[in-house]
């Protein structure tokens, strides 16, 4: 099957079954990697903050909720992750959003 035939077949599957069904039928780790999605834990690690801190920021509305849902798990799209990094960096500079690790 060449690339054009593959694209047509995929488009037909998407139209017939729906993208949500297709995504939920594939192994979650493969979809996550292919779409470059980030879990809350992934993004927290990239930001250098604990998971609980990022969850708190989401709950308090300081950063948006993850927009992608797969198998009852929430993920940030690459664009959303980048936007959150910009938000956090800007707020850190303005001292509105700080994380101070516990010492001792």
Distance CA 104, CA 92 (A): 23
**Long-range contact set of residues 54-59: C-beta below 8 Å, sequence gap at least 24:** 57/88, 57/97
> Do 39 and 75 share a structural domain?
yes
In which domain, by residue range, is 84 found?
A: 35-93
Q: For each of the chain's 104 residues, which pLDDT tens digit applies?
A: 888 888 898 889 889 988 888 888 888 889 899 999 999 999 999 999 999 999 999 999 989 999 988 888 899 999 999 999 998 888 767 665 544 445 55
Amino acid 24: pLDDT = 82
Token digits for 36? 């470059």
Tally of structural domains, the chain: 2
Are 50 and 87 in the same domain? yes
- Helix ranges restricted to H, the chain: 3-17, 19-25, 28-34, 40-47, 51-59, 78-93
Say if residue 21 is in the same domain as residue 39.
no
Residue-level pLDDT at 104: 52
Same domain membership, residue 39 and residue 9: no
* Model confidence, pTM: 0.71
In a shared domain, residues 40 and 79: yes
The answer on 87 and 41 residing in a single domain is yes
């Amino acid at each position: 099957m060449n690339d054009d035939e593959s694209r047509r077949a995929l488009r037909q599957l998407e139209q017939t079954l729906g993208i949500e069904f297709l995504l939920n039928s594939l192994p979650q780790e493969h979809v996550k990697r292919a779409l470059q999605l980030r879990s809350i834990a992934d993004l927290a690690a990239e930001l250098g903050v604990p998971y609980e801190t990022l969850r708190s920021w989401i709950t308090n509305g300081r950063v948006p909720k993850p927009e992608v849902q797969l198998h009852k798990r929430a993920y940030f799209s690459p664009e959303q992750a980048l936007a959150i990094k910009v938000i956090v960096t800007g707020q850190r500079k303005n001292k509105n959003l700080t994380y101070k690790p516990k010492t001792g």
